[in-house]
A = this chain, B = another copy of it.
Amino acid sequence: MTSDKILLGHGSGGKLSHDLIKDIFVKHFNNPLLNSCTDSALLDIDSKNLAFTTDSYVVDPVFFPGGNIGHLAVCGTVNDLAVSGATPLYLTSSFIIEEGFPVKDLEQVVMSMAKEAEKAGVKIVAGDTKVVDRGKCDKVFINTSGIGILEKGRINISYGSDIKAGDKILINGFIGDHGIAVMCARNELQFSSDIKSDCACLNGLISGVLEETDNVRFMRDATRGGVVTVLCELAETNDIGIELDEDNIPVRENVRGMCEVLGYDPLYVANEGKVVMVVPADEADMTLKKMRQDDLGRDSAIIGQVVDEYKGKVFMNTGIGGRRIVDMLAGEQLPRIC
């Protein structure tokens, strides 16, 4: 650890988070299941494979265009299971609530969770509630943990260990919507925009693709740290080069505009309904077609490929004909985005 105090950047999903996980959590909890740092732990219980995952949500504000913290808490955990190749089955939900929080707001959050869980076909089966004094947390924080069944053949999807040069990289639509929607909704920013969070459960879209092909080589949802962080981690872990084509990455005009105003790069902005997929080149078009059949994949695109050069790195062919290395997020860009 390069700092002796926790910094906001330790929660960014970028380099500092990486260090914190490596230097504190993996160091002490040390076991192969955790050390792999996949989105879900992949467990073998009496020859039955399970995926098991957890996430705490501290998004500010609690309600934002396109969703709220409860909706997000269900989608985020369902997606962590789904990108592991698992079928999400059961969630727990644990609330830390600030004294004085309006019960009607809590009920609205809980109703969103119930609705989203039903849509995704998962059940919320256990819970916990803690209340802390006023000023000791900020309105409400939610943890959702989840388990799902994982078919044995899909274990490598989490690791990306079957990836080969030539494989194509796909995404299921526009990036950056969630992060920018939340930023615009913060009270201190006096922006108004029509940008909505992309917050959604992707297990339906993903299972559609997995029914079509056994060759999905990697999936990860691009949340904190954005698409670039997912790809940088993938490149580093598997010592592969990744080439992105800037012109092919779907970014809405209003999101791009707001990113320019705020000084952000959409590639680093959090999504809550976007999965990065890697498939063999000869299955890319078929996969793209399948993704586009799903409501959550209408704007899917092939955004890059795995290459033999630049091992361990991600680089971008820019719109103006240049080429640049893109690196992991160094500090904190958007605190409390999820």
Q: Does A3 contact B (CB under 8 A)?
A: yes
Q: Mark A294-321, 1 if CB is under 8 A from B, else 0.
A: 0000000000000000000000000000
Using Cβ atoms and an 8 Å threshold, which residues of chain B touch A126?
33-34, 40-41, 52-54
Check A28–B110 contact: CB distance below 8 A.
yes
Q: Does A261 contact B (CB under 8 A)?
A: no
Using Cβ atoms and an 8 Å threshold, which residues of chain B touch A127?
21, 25, 29, 34, 54
Using Cβ atoms and an 8 Å threshold, which residues of chain B touch A332?
131
Nearest CB in chain B: distance from A186 CB, A: 12
Q: Does A17 contact B (CB under 8 A)?
A: yes
User: B57, B100, B111: which contacts A28 (Cβ < 8 A)?
Assistant: B111
Interface size class of A (residues with CB under 8 A): 35 or more
A153 CA to B300 CA, complexed, in Å: 49
> Which of A6, A89, A102, A145 gathers the greatest number of chain B CB atoms within 10 Å?
A6
A96 CA to B130 CA, complexed, in Å: 14
Using Cβ atoms and an 8 Å threshold, which residues of chain B touch A95?
56
Q: Can you name the residue of chain B whose Cβ is closest to the Cβ of A149?
A: B45
Q: Mark A28-60, 1 if CB is under 8 A from B, else 0.
A: 111101100000110101101010111111101
Q: Can you name the residue of chain B whose Cβ is closest to the Cβ of A40?
A: B126
Q: Mark A123-137, 1 if CB is under 8 A from B, else 0.
A: 111111111110111
Nearest CB in chain B: distance from A117 CB, A: 7
A147 CA to B90 CA, complexed, in Å: 12
Q: Which of A7-15, A165-173, A210-218, A279-287 contacts B (4 or more CB under 8 A)?
A: A7-15
A89 CA to B44 CA, complexed, in Å: 11
Check B11–A132 contact: CB distance below 8 A.
yes
- A 310-338 contacts with B by CB, 8 A: 332, 335-336, 338
Check B24–A130 contact: CB distance below 8 A.
no
Nearest CB in chain B: distance from A115 CB, A: 9
Q: Does A159 contact B (CB under 8 A)?
A: no
A34 CA to B124 CA, complexed, in Å: 7
Q: Can you name the residue of chain B whose Cβ is closest to the Cβ of A39?
A: B126
Q: Does A94 contact B (CB under 8 A)?
A: yes
- A 54-72 contacts with B by CB, 8 A: 54-58, 60
Nearest CB in chain B: distance from A160 CB, A: 18
Q: Given A30-B114, A96-B96, A114-B28, answer yes or no on A56-B130 (Cβ-Cβ < 8 Å).
A: yes
Q: Given A33-B123, A41-B92, A138-B136, answer yes or no on A56-B143 (Cβ-Cβ < 8 Å).
A: yes
Chain A residues at the B interface, C-beta cutoff of 8 Å: 1, 3-12, 17, 20-21, 24-25, 28-31, 33-34, 40-41, 43, 45-46, 48, 50, 52-58, 60, 89-90, 92-104, 106-107, 110-111, 113-114, 117, 123-133, 135-138, 141, 143, 145, 147, 149, 332, 335-336, 338
9 contacts between A and B (CB under 8 A): A10-B131, A29-B93, A29-B114, A29-B124, A45-B50, A45-B149, A54-B126, A55-B94, A56-B128
Nearest 9 pairs of A and B residues by beta carbon: A11-B131, A41-B125, A145-B145, A54-B92, A143-B143, A41-B126, A33-B125, A28-B114, A136-B138
